[in-house]
A = this chain, B = another copy of it.
Amino acid sequence: MLVKLLPVESGDTLIYRVLKAAPIFAALSDAEIEYLTARTEVRTYSPAEMLFSEGEPCTGLHLVATGRVRIFKSSPNGREQVLAVEGPGASVAELPVFDGGGYPASVSAVEETKVLFISRQDFRDVCLEHPEVALKVLQVVGGRLRRLVGIIEELSFTTVRHRLISWLLREARSVGRESEEGLVLTLAASHQEIASQIGTVRELVSRNMARLQAQSLIRARGSEITILDQAGLEAELSSVV
């Protein structure tokens, strides 16, 4: 991890631009952003490098500037369950800043990633002075909580096949491109990573992928996946059983 302590100029640095654009700080004036800029640290991580591990004491707020990070829990026998993948503008670990406990999960960089770090005290001060920031944090946390509830729902009510389909559709909608055969998706994640995200193991992802292909619902050519029958897949998600 690389730490850059002070920005050379504060007018147009990466820090300033990211803070300014972060939804969480929308309520702050330019002067206040400048103030925060001076007290923010940039950290650079290489792919798979850990930002922090579950249980460590929480020292401050992390804000993704560029790249992506994954938030996950890991089990003693080596399995991982991904809770979220966050990209630029997203804040990570807003909550432990307030409740004083350690980090509830671990976070690592997916790719080359730059993260802004604001100390716990600075962030709390900002929230106390600007209640709108606190409300915004609550809003962000609301979304996070909803996603966690969604994961619980999927884990306790659905099958691996169901979760894989729902993962594929979500992914296709967010990064897929149209073609005359259907949405085309280039997988950035390995089967292992998909497995961690949907709460299962590599082999089952592989098998279910093969089965979806055998049923002509998708076509997989290496890391290129074409959603051949989006309606059919969606139907399966909503059907009971």
A residues touching B (Cβ–Cβ < 8 Å)?
Answer: 73, 75-77, 79, 81, 83, 94-96, 98-101, 104-105, 124, 127-132, 134-135, 137-139, 141-146, 148-149, 151-153, 155-157, 199, 240-241
Contacts and interface: CB of A to CB of B under 8 A. Distances in A.
11 contacts: A73-B153, A73-B156, A98-B138, A100-B139, A101-B142, A101-B146, A128-B132, A134-B135, A145-B145, A152-B155, A155-B155
A75 B96 CA distance: 31
A152 B196 CA distance: 12
B75 A157 contact: yes
A240 B127 contact: no
A240 B81 contact: no
Contact of A148 (B98, B148, B156): B148
Contacts of A81: 152-153, 156-157
Contacts of A75: 153, 156-157
A24 to B, nearest CB: 13
Given A73-B157, A76-B240, 10 more contacts: A98-B139, A99-B139, A99-B146, A100-B139, A127-B134, A127-B135, A138-B141, A144-B145, A148-B152, A155-B155
Contact of A95 (B100, B134, B142): B142
B124 A135 contact: yes
Given A124-B135, A131-B131, A77 B241 contact: yes
B152 A73 contact: yes
A61 to B, nearest CB: 12
Contact of A104 (B105, B139, B141, B146): B146
A206 B156 CA distance: 19
A171 to B, nearest CB: 20
Contacts of A128: 131-132, 135
A240 B148 contact: no
A152 B84 CA distance: 12
